[in-house]
A = this chain, B = another copy of it.
Amino acid sequence: MRKIAILGIGQTKVDEHWDKSLRELGGEAAFLAMQDAGVDRVDALYVGNMLSSMVSGQNQLGAFFSDWVGLWKEESVKIEAACGSGAAAFRSALMAVASGDVESALVVGVEKMTDKAGRDVTAALATAADADYEVEQGVSFVGINALVMRRYMREFGWKHEDFAPFSINAHANAMHNPYARLHEKVTVDKFEKSSMVATPINLLDASPVGDGAAAVVIVPAEKVIRQPKVIVAASAAATDSIAVHSRKDPLFLNAAFLSAKQAYAMAAVTPEDIDVFELHDAFSIMAALSLEAAGFAERGQGVRLGLENQIGIRGRIPVCTRGGLKARGHPVGATGMYQIVEAAQQLRGECGTTQVDGASIGMAQNIGGSGATILTHILRRE
């Protein structure tokens, strides 16, 4: 595949942006990415979004944003894969540039969630699950994850507090990220005393929703002069059944395993080579399962990496270095693009206090639904 580089990045703070419309929010990240890239036009626009039709009454976000950012003629399209929409849009853009039909692309992940009441957003998020066989039973998205977490704890003998390090690490890193939604220190005590959402998932296990947008500009690598170059070393996507109950093993993220395996092969690396891993910690259980599926821990042992202090900035495999979904926030369709932007920031050495020393290979893994659509990208500094 053609070698592609990330030329520019941009992001907004994840927040309740009641003062910004959907177009202003996505436009802000887009303009920042184009400014950072030093370009005022691109050949094509790819938008990752999940909820805009239900929350903002707006579909066709390709044309919607292409209009707003001044790409008045260029190809544009929206890609949706639930919470995996951001990385799916990134991959669509990669395919287009790799095909040779498009020479430069802007990718925007954007989600506006706080304009509706919480119950409406919960219902909208449920569209990521199987409407006929899961939602029909009255189970919400957090409910499905709670069932998975409960079974994991029972099968492998972990206690709830064993998951605390994921939350503590994410919140500690977010303290140094101005774009993060939450700037609040978490302790084991605070974690254990947090309000219950769906047993055993409490508020500090769960990522907050929010409004946010993150964007990048990509071009063929040979066109980039800027140093260091951030290269897309691998892009891979895999699927699992949309309903968790259809899986042989509900405690194994097979699509994460498959897409990570393909990505490692494509980039010619192993898990040992990964310096930073921006994983999809929508719930603390998902952080554990992601670490296992991507080859950093044995089955059922993902939580151990947290307990042994291996996930921090100076640990064996730093995760959520800018706060992750847990503390940077989870504007669902934008999240995958935040991960790409953050991994690029690490490789560019722009992360200050939470900079991973000498980070040269970063991985981002974005999950749609309860592990149904999973995309793994590996970036490399050159």
Contact = CB atoms under 8 A, between A and B. Distances in A.
A255 B57 CA distance: 24
A261 to B, nearest CB: 11
Per CB-CB distance, the 10 closest pairs between chain A and chain B, nearest first, are A98-B99, A63-B372, A59-B127, A75-B237, A60-B82, A58-B131, A57-B131, A95-B95, A95-B96, A66-B239
Contact of A67 (B21, B78, B242): B242
Given A60-B373, A64-B242, A239-B66, A79 B78 contact: yes
A101 B372 contact: no
A53 B246 CA distance: 22
A74 B80 CA distance: 16
Contact of A78 (B73, B75, B80): B80
Interface string A76-108: 111111101000100110111011111000000
Interface string A1-25: 1100000000000000000010100
Contact of A239 (B53, B67, B102, B238): B67
Given A60-B127, A101-B235, A132 B21 contact: yes
A192 interface: no
A255 B91 CA distance: 25
Dominant secondary structure at the A interface? mixed
A324 interface: no
Contacts of A80: 59-61, 77-80
Given A60-B127, A132-B23, A242-B67, A101 B98 contact: yes
Interface residues of A, number: 70
A62 B373 contact: yes
Contacts of A77: 79-81, 88, 91-92, 237, 373
A63 B368 contact: yes
26 contacts: A23-B132, A45-B239, A51-B53, A53-B54, A53-B127, A56-B131, A57-B127, A57-B135, A60-B81, A62-B81, A62-B88, A62-B373, A67-B241, A72-B240, A73-B254, A74-B238, A75-B239, A76-B239, A77-B237, A78-B79, A79-B92, A92-B95, A95-B95, A95-B96, A98-B99, A101-B235
A125 to B, nearest CB: 9
B95 A99 contact: yes
Contacts of A2: 99
Nearest to A63: B372
A18 B315 CA distance: 56
A84 B91 CA distance: 20
Contacts of A62: 81, 88, 239, 368, 373
